[in-house]
Amino acid sequence: MYRPPLRDRPAFAGEKVLLVDRCQATREVRAAVLRSRGVEAHEAEEISAARFLWQPNVYDLVMLDVRRYSPDEALEFYGEVKHRSPGGCFVFFSGPQSTCRAPGQVKSPAMTPRTSSGVRR
């Protein structure tokens, strides 16, 4: 439900968000932006951890980066949340897969740049 912002107060200040993302760097940046807007952001790396944290009527919003999980796992979690809290809000991040890797992790062949002739460098 939209509540107009109070004078000098961000619109989402005081809201509680569960942010689910395997990429630590992305998750931390998103959480920092939310917190800078007065949002209480809780973070989970795995959907299993999000299931443990999530409770009906506790979070105003669940944000899930679906690019980092299997579609079945993401939809199952979404179904659980919607079943237990029908009025709850859920946001899916989607789009091209990012290149988030653990330090020292080697690029996969699919992530290796190609020359104009299509040959991998």
Residue 63 counted as domain residue = yes
Residues spanned by the domain of 66:
16-96
The answer to whether residue 118 is domain-embedded is no
Question: Closest Cα to residue 68, out of 31, 108, 30, 95?
Answer: 95
pLDDT digits (tens, 9 = 90+) for 73-121: 999 999 999 998 888 888 888 866 556 655 444 443 343 344 455 454 4
Structural domains counted in the chain: 1
In-domain check, residue 46: yes
Q: Is residue 21 part of a domain?
A: yes
- In a domain, residue 40? The reply is yes
CATH number of the domain within which 31 lies? 3.40.50.2300
Domain membership of residue 11 (yes or no) is no
Distance CA 40, CA 35 (A): 6
Query: Does residue 105 belong to any structural domain of this protein?
Result: no
pLDDT band of residue 47 (cuts 50, 70, 90) is very high
Of the candidate ranges 22-31, 47-56, 99-108, the one whose mean pLDDT is the lowest: 99-108
* Mean pLDDT value across residues 11-26: 89
